[in-house]
Each structure stands twice: as C-alpha cells, then as structure tokens.
Amino acid sequence: MSAGGPGRLSAGAIQALDDALRPLDDWAAARWPGGAGLGQPIHTVYVPADQAAPGLCSDWGRRARAALDEFGATAQELASAVGLPAAEVQDAWPLLLRALEEQPIQDLRVDLEDGYGPHSDADEDAHADAAAQTLLAEAADPAGPRRCGIRHRSLEASTRPRAVRTLDRVVGRLMQAGGLPSGFVVTLPKVIHLDQVRVYVVLLDALEQAHGLPSGALRFEIQVETPQTILGPDGTLPLAPMIEAGAGRVTGLHYGTYDYSAAMGVGAQHQRADHPVAQTAKAVMRLAAAGTGVEVSDGSTNRLPVGDRGTVHANWAEHTRLVLGALSDGVRQGWDLHPAQLVTRHLTTIVVQRRGLPEKLDRLAAYLAATGQGNAAAAPSTSGGGALDEPATAQALAADAMRAVESGAAQTSEVESRTGAPSEALRALANRRVV
C-alpha cells in the first residue's frame, strides 16, 4: 500500500487472516456443500418384504388408477373429494394420469423391520433374497423408481444380529446379480445415540470391503422416530453430529410418525404427521440438514383410502391436507403405504408446483436479466410482478422451476423460454451454496 493512503494494513496482515480462516473455509465447504435437494423423490413407498415381488411399481400404478377410476373418475369429482380447487385439479389431471402410468413410485423401500413383522430366520433369509431380486427388477423397469433400498431391523441388542445378517445377505445377493441398483439406499431405524451412527459407518465400510464395493457406495437414511434423536440426555441436539458422523454416507432424515408420537405420550387418536410434537421434531430435522445436501422426509399417515366412497374421500382429503402442509413447510417427501395414496401424493405435488409458476418464472427472468445471467428479451416488462428478489429468493425460484420439471409439472422448454436461461444454468443457481 502507498504511504499516506487510506489503507494501512500490509499484504502480510491480510494474508495472515486468510491463512487463519482457510481451514474453516475447507471445513464449512465439506460440512455444508449446499444444494437445493433437486432430484429428491416426492415420497418413499414402504412395502413389507413378504409382499414385495418384481412388477411391484407397475402394479401399484394400476391399482392407484383403478382407485381413481372408481372414486374420482373426473377432475371435478376428485377435486370435490380432496378439497382442492376444481380448476387446479383439471389443470393437473393429464399430468396425474401420466405419473401413475410412467413412474407411480419414485422411491421404493422393501421393509424388513416393523412393517414386516416377526419371522423365523429361515423365512427372513428367503425374504431378504427375494427383496434383492425385487429391487433389481424394479430398478431395470422403465416404470420403476428413481431410488430403492431396504429397511432392516434396528441396532438394538435384541435385533442387532438379525439386522446385520439381513443387510449382508441383501448386499451379497445384489452383488451376485451384477451390483447395487442405481440409487440404492438403506434405512437405519430407531436411532437413539451418535455411537450407533459411528458404528454403522464402520459396518458399512466392512461390508464394502467384503463384497468388493468402492468406499462410500453404501449410503443410508437416519430414521427419526425416537425423542433421543432430537434431544440428547445432555441437552444437546444430536442430529447434526449424526450427519457429520455419517462421513458423507447419510442421504436423508426420515420422520417416523407413530413411533415418535407414541414415545412422546401422544394418544393413538391424536397421532398424526402434523401434531405439534411432530412439527417440533421436523423443524429440528430441517435445521440439522440445512445446507448439507441431506434430505428431510415426512412420515406416513395410517388413514388409508380404502373402503366405501365416503371413507376413501375422507382419507384422500386428509392425505392431501398433510401433503399440502408438509410442502408449505419445505418438506417435499413423505411416506406412502397404499397404492390409492399415490393419487393424492402426485396430485397435490403437481398442483402445488404449478401454483403461480408463470409468475415465478417471470420473476426469475427479471432477476437473471438484471444480473446479466439471462436473456434480457425474455424478462417481462413488469419485472416479475414488481418483486425485488435477492440471490436467496432467486435460488428458491430456480429450485421451484427445476422441481416442477423433474416431477412432470412443467416442461423444460416452458421453463427455458420463459426465463431466458438454459436449464443447466437454472440448476446451478438452485444448487448455489448458501454458507
């Protein structure tokens, strides 16, 4: 710096500051890589292992369409049943039918835990073998899921040996048949302590070595279904350390509606995914996962759309209400347990993604044009409805646009022409690091 100028710090002092903070920069980049969760499935479907077989996803799609034909044969009837505006359901109708035909299940989990129930070791071995066959067949099916995997028994002392045996057997069968299917993930249930995550990572590393898998190939979700996962005995919040202890293997935090609420003393008649104790848990989950790339998923509802018309309509309406609430909270994934729930899962997601989409795209076009990232000719004269959008809002708008494309609620050409930017640029903006 020149003598007598306004700046008096030497280059060496500035370099010392940079050197002191660079390790923190590296740590923060690894700990919070960012990402808007693009590619996250809208749901996870749980099917007990003794009921899973190749062709499962297409069969669920057909059964969902049959329920729609019987109980919501027109957009008007379906709108009346679920409580959504008729115009929005009419707009979403062809997209709903396409989703039920082309990819009814986006994420499949073959359940070898609570939903599967007690079985002999011989039966569970056979069902583990069959689960591997089902996953491979569904992953190869054009109508199959984006992701798939299993949930094994918990690491509690009574079920720990069986959990390891089942996981080892499923991975072995998959490798014998050619390798892990794309998007393979394991659900780790009933976590109560950080050490379970640490030991599980060691187990996965040993399995990879035993089966000739590359390091990090086995990834897992932490199922949040115990209060101890939210608040530790020392008053700390264990979830964020659990994600870090996962050493890059943790893909998601999944809320367990009924185990968690029961453990919190909520009576059976009041257990639901939007109960205050559930909302508290999911708020902590979102805080722990923010900026990490780890996805947050809601749990399930046991009010299934089966029975007479009145019962189906009432439970469709309840499912729609829960999905709407979760989406408004930023929780874009939940669990589905019955084919007829696919109707309201896809419908509600499509409706929400299409709400205000033209305005969102216009705001995004105005922001991109103003910052020199888009085509100025594509920017609306109203500058996106008069909104003064900051980078964080533009990131959210880009993420909304790309999620709409991924779910089939919008076409890539529509998004690109209206924003004046290629989808690759929009995806990069959506995945911008916040930290």
What's the pLDDT tens digit per position in 129-138? 999 999 999 9
CA distance to 86, 99, 257, 278, 314, per residue, from 268 (Å):
34, 34, 11, 14, 19
Q: Identity (one letter) of the amino acid at 182?
A: S
Q: Residue 7: pLDDT above 90?
A: no
When pLDDT is cut at 50, 70 and 90, the band that residue 375 belongs to is: low
162 φ, ψ to 5°? -70, -35
pLDDT for the residue 206: 98
What's the pLDDT tens digit per position in 151-208? 999 999 999 999 999 999 999 999 999 899 999 999 999 999 999 999 999 999 999 9
Q: Identity (one letter) of the amino acid at 7?
A: G
Of the candidate ranges 77-81, 221-225, 411-415, the one whose mean pLDDT is the lowest: 411-415
* Mean pLDDT of all residues belonging to the chain: 93
Q: Residue 386: pLDDT above 80?
A: no
- The mean pLDDT of 351-366, rounded to a whole number, is 94
Cα end-to-end span (Å), the chain: 31
pLDDT for the residue 383: 46
145 φ, ψ to 5°? -80, 160
Q: b vs e for 171-199, b when ≥16 Cβ sit within 10 Å of the residue's Cβ?
A: bbbbbeeeebbebbbbbbbbbbbbebbee
* Cα of 420 vs its chain's centroid, Å: 29
When pLDDT is cut at 50, 70 and 90, the band that residue 30 belongs to is: confident
**For residues 36 and 314, what is the distance between their CA atoms, to the nearest angstrom?**
33
Q: Residue 1: pLDDT above 50?
A: no
pLDDT for the residue 80: 98
Of the candidate ranges 124-138, 240-254, 406-420, the one whose mean pLDDT is the lowest: 406-420
User: In degrees to the nearest 10, what's the CA dihedral of 229, 297, 40, 109?
Assistant: 90
**For residues 246 and 222, what is the distance between their CA atoms, to the nearest angstrom?**
10
Q: Residue 380: pLDDT above 90?
A: no
When pLDDT is cut at 50, 70 and 90, the band that residue 54 belongs to is: very high
**Using CA of residue 65, residue 67, residue 70, residue 76, what is the dihedral sign?**
negative
pLDDT for the residue 431: 83
Residue 86, Ramachandran bin (φ over 0: left; ψ between -120 and 50: alpha; else beta): alpha
Domains of the chain and CATH, by start: 43-354 (3.20.20.60), 357-430 (no CATH)
pLDDT for the residue 371: 85
Q: Which residues contact 206 (CB under 8 A, 6 or more apart)?
A: none
**What value, to the nearest 5°, has the Cα angle with vertex 210 and ends 206 and 211?**
120
Question: In the chain, how long is the greatest CA-to-CA distance?
Answer: 87
What's the pLDDT tens digit per position in 243-286? 999 999 999 999 999 999 999 999 999 999 999 999 999 999 99
When pLDDT is cut at 50, 70 and 90, the band that residue 388 belongs to is: low
pTM of this structure: 0.91
Strand order from edge to edge, sheet including 220-224: 295-297, 250-255, 220-224, 184-188, 147-151, 107-111, 43-48, 334-336
